[in-house]
């Protein structure tokens, strides 16, 4: 009974064991945990946006190099370019939480992508108009030459595409470096766990 009496005395005098954590400390830790969750969510969103940006930029570069060729098929490139525009749209979602550098890089390449899409639309219209005109006429030497010229890009369009390629290369060097997975010393991809 003596032990029971001593523990009640400790409780009354305040000399007893302190609670593990006060209510205030628990609230602070809860707020910090919530803030950590929000920050990690934003970081994951940015990582996904950078991944989409890298895919779209690689596809844009490929489309630009294909469009610069004189035998470019505008209708196929137009379809591929539509997919690139969609990738840039995905990368730009949630603009409010993207890092400024990521947002600017996405905006620059998306604008370049829209310019290429417009140029491909014009080229596709020219090619379809040229093929319709060709079907109704006899093929002479001069008309064959004109048809061959219409197969690829005009000089002005080729110049614009080359400018876009150059700008894209400049933007790639100024854009944030693409993230890569760490690799093992043997050159194989390391497992993430």
* DSSP structure string for 44-96: HHHHHHHHHHHHHHHHHHHHHHHHTSTT--HHHHHHHHHHHHHHHHHHTTTGG
- Band (pLDDT 50/70/90 cuts) for residue 181 is very low
Residue 8 tokens read as 């009640």
- Residue 33 reports pLDDT greater than 90: yes
Tens-place pLDDT, residues 140-158:
544 544 544 445 566 777 7
pLDDT at 158: 72
- Band (pLDDT 50/70/90 cuts) for residue 183 is very low
For the stretch 109-113, contacts whose Cβ atoms lie closer than 8 Å and that sit 24 or more positions apart, written own/partner, are 109/53, 109/56, 109/57, 109/60, 109/168, 109/171, 109/175, 110/85, 112/60, 112/164, 112/167, 112/168, 112/171, 113/56, 113/60, 113/81, 113/84, 113/85, 113/88
pLDDT at 39: 95
pLDDT at 127: 76
pLDDT at 100: 92
- Residue 180 reports pLDDT greater than 50: no
**Which CA distances in Å does 137 have to 117, 126, 148?**
30, 17, 15
Mean pLDDT over residues 90-103, rounded?
91
Domain borders along the chain are: 21-172
Tens-place pLDDT, residues 39-79:
999 999 999 999 999 999 999 999 888 888 888 788 888 88
pLDDT at 153: 63
State the CB neighbour count (10 A cutoff) for residue 123: 23
State the CB neighbour count (10 A cutoff) for residue 181: 8
- CA angle centred on 78, ends 73 and 83, rounded to 5°: 135
State the CB neighbour count (10 A cutoff) for residue 82: 13
**Of all residues in the chain, what percent are helix, strand and coil, respectively (each to 5)?**
75, 0, 25
For residue 131, what is the enclosing H or E element?
Answer: helix 100-135
Residue tagged 């080229």 (tokens): 123
């Amino acid at each position: 009974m003596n032990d029971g009496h001593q523990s009640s005395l400790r409780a009354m005098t305040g000399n007893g064991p302190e609670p593990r954590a006060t209510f205030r400390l628990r609230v602070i830790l809860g707020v910090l945990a919530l803030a950590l969750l929000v920050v990690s969510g934003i970081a994951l969103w940015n990582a996904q946006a950078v991944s989409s940006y890298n895919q779209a930029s690689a596809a844009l570069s490929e489309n630009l190099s294909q469009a610069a060729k004189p035998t470019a098929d505008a209708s196929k490139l137009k379809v591929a370019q539509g997919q690139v525009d969609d990738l840039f749209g995905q990368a730009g979602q949630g603009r409010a939480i993207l890092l400024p550098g990521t947002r600017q890089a996405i905006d620059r390449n998306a604008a370049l992508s829209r310019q290429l899409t417009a140029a491909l639309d014009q080229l596709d219209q020219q090619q379809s108009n040229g093929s319709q005109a060709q079907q109704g006429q006899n093929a002479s030497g001069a008309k064959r030459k004109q048809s061959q010229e219409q197969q690829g890009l005009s000089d002005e369009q080729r110049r614009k595409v080359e400018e876009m390629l150059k700008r894209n290369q400049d933007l790639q060097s100024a854009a944030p470096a693409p993230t890569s997975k760490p690799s093992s010393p043997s050159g194989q991809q390391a497992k993430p766990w």
